[in-house]
Structure 1
Amino acid sequence: MSDLVDDCIAIVICRVSAPRMMRFRAPSALVIALLGVYLVTIAMMGCNITWLVGTDSHGNRVDRRSMKTRCGCNCVGERPRKCPPGDSARDMSVAKRQTTDEISRLIDIIVREGIRRDHILEEADGKLLINIARNCSSTKDSSGEYLGIAGTESVSSVKNDSSLVLTDVMSAFQGKWKKNETLFQEMKRDLTSCCDAESSFLTKRNVRVGEILPNVLNKKLPLKMTRDMYRNLIKDWPLKHKRFNKCAVVGNSGILRGSHCGASIDSADAVFRCNLPPLGKKIYQEDAGVKSSFTTAPLSMLKSYAKMNEESVREQFLKDMEQYSGILSAKKPNNYTKYMIDSIAAARGGELQMVYEHPHHFLRTNTYWNNHGIPKKITSGIYLLSMAMTRCDEVHVYGFWPFPYDDKGDAVGYHYYEAPVFTKDSHDMPLEFMRVRRLHQDGVIQVHMRCSRDLR
């Protein structure tokens, strides 16, 4: 393959790897792929490319170009041919450089168009968020503070077009969904390269005694890995090298109520759940299912079992954990979670395994989304979605809806079960949801708001 093709490939790699590009757009991919095929073909045939540049009536160069292929002459290379009169190796080198520069210009245009489209889509999402806040703030219990968007930088500065309401948001999930395998695989590669699930837990292989780790919950209080904490760590990632066909990522929004999605969720090969949701109660099973493969366990919910050295508390903890299987992930080690790990290991064997989240993995995942349109700290939902993307061939999402009303104007609970509501936090759930919505529209993941009863 000629140096020209090598140069062009390098240009393509540099341009499409630009950090502002969230994902590779299909039209851009098609144009660059066709251009690459053309370049490879003419290089193999021993042809050269020149650009025909238009000029105006005064002889000035104008931006009107076409590409012309000239075959049968190769003045440079291992097997040079005789050049026509007036053509030298230097001329061919200059022509090659001009061609490479021109291709670079064309690819820059393609990339800029992709970035411009992202800005347009983000602005449209911002309009929706602004008008949701405007429409919901008329009620006493549905302020902008509840939505998490009042006074934040998460929305566009464009504040008109009040006709955009929740019906516009919900409309994205109606009709037939089609997977875009190209975009899915690209995002999967991006997340795997920075945030593969195999590095998500603290293990005896990826941390050592005395190591200082960042504290995701409080940056001012870093965590020192003591010998006692190290003893509780697992040896290696429990699902090493394992892949899943269909995965379900389940949020806890009240939108799950009446969704009839329980059977669809339980049909997945792996189910990722947030923040110890209730699975044992029959009133929730039809909508939320009962299966769990990976469940996050926030310290705020584990504090009720802080006196794990007492037998009654330990028994209550084990009883409450009976509804979960697979992996239970705690945010960080402390003086009572070590008793939890020992208790689960003794009572449940390999049916349930409690682990610690690796702070470096969470921070890398958080940085990934910071660079892709979510400026604040990500929620457990987005974190689990990212993990599922690196391990699964299909990702289905349920229970994501951060607004107090649905598209019909009916109230939607903060959770599908009774639980305290915490509104003052560091997350931006509406903005996160709009990113999830965009991934659904792009065919990367499939979001389910309602499911068919026929799956039962």
Structure 2
Amino acid sequence: MSSVRLGSSAMLKAVQRLGLGVLIITVLSLVYFILMTQSVAKLVQPRWHNSSSLIHRNASLPQLSQAMHLVTTVVPNNTTSAKKNYTDVSINSKTVTHNVSRHLQKTTPVDVVELARHFNGTWQQNDKAIAVLREELHNCCSTQEDFILTQKNIRIGMNIHYGIQKGKTFKVTSALSRMLPKTSPFSGRRFSRCSVVGNGAILSHSGCGQEIDKADYVFRCNLPPIGGKYAEDTGIRTNFTTANPISQISWIYKGLRSQQGRDKFMTDIKKYPGLLWVSAFQVKAATGISQQALRFVTQRRIRNPALVFGNPQHFINTMNYWKAHGLSNRLSTGMYMSSMALSVCDQVHLFGFWPFDKDPEDQPLAYHYYDKGKADKVHDMPQEFLKLLEWHQEGVVNVHVHKCQAGR
């Protein structure tokens, strides 16, 4: 009898254990089902059902990329090439310390109408965020002193390291040193309001000329056509203009080798008073023609514009800073000028920055405001534009993508 009782007791315990196991499995299955249901619901939810919750003041670059239908890969930010471990100027900086992949699929759709809506309303300047960013840029790059190559920041016999062609150097000669300014024209200077003008076709029929020209200082890129039929949309003033030594001085003006090329160069540059900035030491191919241009304006005693050389070390430092903040490709001239302006201007307004082939009304758009042009494949314009959107929403810069009041 005792053996029967022992057998019955063991069987009862086994059944109880089995029941407990079934119960646990059932509960786990139910939890798994609920979680999977929620995940599927999120996947099938329309992406633009509530876009305002995806793009907001503190949105990170990955969030903005997702909201704009941009395909990106987020990886931890392990960049150590910058001089310091910088803190992002975002209101919620922890959300933006990611790198966005440099490759955006060509077929990736961008809802330009939705994107443009995030530039609506009154822009509010954030002095605190601007001050933080300006301090970081000063610490990494010392723009006011080192943006331009001077007798003060180089010495005869030293090697200049090229900004793009790594490993290549140029030994400073006494002839070059004599033609450089003694100190930077930006040393100790500060401007109240600045306009940085890109060449995007978003400027066409914008009516932004007056808005651009009201600035205390105007930056322009790559000797763009100004005045005349473009005046209403792009303004007529400039204080700082960049020139590409290869695609412009070498090709358009035939390297200043012929009298015709020299005469045309001298006539054209007079349209750009102030400073004419040339990137002489980004690649070796640009150095010879840049020095030729500097000798030409020096011999002709052309003082307005004053031709100056960019400092490649400043470019390298600025590149390293932005690599640490998610911009992985080589900076475009417009983005580089925007960084420079943030260092010397209290308020920065950007015009002509819109890297898409559709305008805010979803209509076809050319590349430049003055010609069809071809899309830039060296720089990652959409990636840079996300940074500009972030800046705009934080009150760091005012990006103008809609028609200005005069053009409405």
Is TM (by shorter chain) over 0.5?
A: yes
The residue number in structure 1 matching 2:274 is 326
Counterpart in 2 of 1:341? 294
Equivalent residue for 1:311?
Answer: 259
Distance 1:240 1:350, change over 3 A: farther
Q: What pairs with 1:350-365 in structure 2 (closer than 5 Å)?
A: 350-365=303-318
Partner of 1:439: 391
Pick one of 123, 126, 147 that aligns with 2:65.
Answer: 126
RMSD over aligned CA atoms reads: 2.8
Contact 1:345/1:353 (<8 A) preserved: no
Structure 1: unaligned runs, 5 residues or longer: 1-116, 134-151
Deviations 1:353-376 (A, max 9, x none): 001100010111111111111111
Greater relative contact order structure (CA < 8 Å, 6+ sep)? 2
Q: Please give the alpha-carbon distance, in whole angstroms, between the structure 2 residues aligned to 1:343 and 1:453.
A: 42
Question: 1:295 is matched with which residue?
Answer: 241
Q: What TM-score do the two structures reach when normalised by structure 2? A: 0.71
Q: Aligned ranges for residues 38-437 of structure 1 at < 5 Å? A: 121-131=60-70, 153-154=101-102, 165-195=111-141, 196-280=143-227, 282-299=228-245, 300-304=247-251, 305-332=253-280, 334-345=287-298, 347=300, 349-418=302-371, 420-425=373-378, 427-437=379-389
CA distance in 2: counterparts of 1:381 and 1:176, whole angstroms: 24
Q: Which amino acid aligns with 1:322?
A: K
> 2:198 & 2:120 partners in 1: Cα distance?
19
Partner of 1:410: helix, strand, or coil?
coil
* In 1, Cα distance between equivalents of 2:377 and 2:104: 22
Identity, in percent, stands at: 33
Conserved 8 A contact 1:260-1:451: yes
Shift of 1:119: 9.5
Give the drift of 1:335: 2.7
Structure 2 distance, partners of 1:337, 1:354, is 10
Q: Secondary structure at the match of 1:208?
A: coil
- Cα deviation for residue 229 of structure 1 reads 2.4
SS at match of 2:187: coil
Instruction: Specify the code of the residue in structure 1 equivalent to 2:236.
Output: V
Q: Please state whether the residue corresponding to 1:408 is helix, strand or coil.
A: coil
Shift in CA distance, 119/446, structure 1 to aligned 2, threshold 3 Å: closer
**In the TM superposition, what whole-angstrom CA distance separates every residue of 1:291-321 from its partner, at most 9, and x where no partner exists?**
1111111122211234424332211111111
Pair 336,452 (structure 1): closer, same or farther in 2 beyond 3 Å: closer
* TM-score, normalisation: structure 1: 0.64
Q: Which residue of 2 aligns with 1:90?
A: none
